[in-house]
Amino acid sequence: MPESISSVQNPRVKNLVRLRHGGHRKRQNRFIIEGLREISRAINCNWPIESLFFCEDLFKSPEAFDLLHEAEEKNIEIVQMTADPFLKGAYRQGADGLLSVAIQKQDSLDELTLKDPPLLIVVESIEKPGNLGAIFRTADAAGADALIITDPVTDPFNPNCIRSSQGAFFSLPFCCSDNATTIDFLERRQISSIATSPDANNDLWDADMRQPTAIVFGSEDNGLSTDWLNNFSLYKLPMQGVTDSLNVASTASIALFEAVRQRITQPR
């Protein structure tokens, strides 16, 4: 029989609350995955999950029971909860009765497996976890090889990032690094850096992304640093109206699928 928790004062409930905060996630090397879709995709991608907490009264789909059986087959610890402690530990509004604790992991730059020609996304100092999660989702949909997060400001294991990725977080390889190490890696691998800036003179469509390519995006408020602006060719999206820039996740989506379009319609 699975462990059963009925008190909001249970230490495991209190720890679920702690894991909302980056400092606790880092110290424990753990993070929260919440929701049927996200947990299912994590399991399907063989992400290391320690525990699965569930509250049957909050289930919204019969597929939740299938997920419990799948977790048992993977030897994931199953913990039953009544509604009050589950809702105390849950991060989302409208919780669906499924919450897991997983182990943090990421690749290093040199562990990344790259296709020929590779397509990488580099994001520098992205501040909003929702934007970072959306970039995970788009990069996965576009078939990018990996996401490189340089000089990170937001924690990629933030629950808002996980949620916004809709599970792509568990499929797309990623790593955190600094600008100098990343630039050295790209140069050693002979991967061309396409740095994006609203002040660029070149339109994005003029960049040849059929070659080994890393598309580089800066923070929401400040854009790219001089590490990228002073050393690489700059490209922009041509704006037709009064708007002079787009949300970084939207810009990343357009740029990624321009790379996809070029590679499909104009193969080298």
Q: Over the stretch 7-21, which tens digit does the pLDDT of each residue have? A: 999 999 999 999 999
Determine the pLDDT at residue 101: 98
Q: Where are the domains of the chain?
A: 3-103, 109-265
Determine the pLDDT at residue 241: 77
Segments of the chain with pLDDT less than 50: none
DSSP string for residues in the chain: --EEE--TT-HHHHHHHHTTSHHHHHHHTEEEEESHHHHHHHHHTT--EEEEEE-GGG--STHHHHHHHHHHHTT-EEEEE-HHHHHHH--STT--SEEEEEE-----GGG----SS-EEEEEES---HHHHHHHHHHHHHTT-SEEEEES-SS-TT-HHHHHHHTTGGGTS-EEEE-HHHHHHHHHHTT-EEEEE-TT-SEEGGGS--SSSEEEEE-BTTTB--HHHHTTS-EEEPPP-SS-----HHHHHHHHHHHHHHHHHHS--
Determine the pLDDT at residue 1: 65
Determine the pLDDT at residue 36: 97
Domain 3-103: CATH architecture, name and number where available: 2-Layer Sandwich (3.30)
> Do the two domains 3-103 and 109-265 of this chain adopt the same fold?
no
Determine the pLDDT at residue 66: 97
Q: Which CATH class is domain 109-265?
A: alpha beta
Determine the pLDDT at residue 268: 76
Determine the pLDDT at residue 220: 87
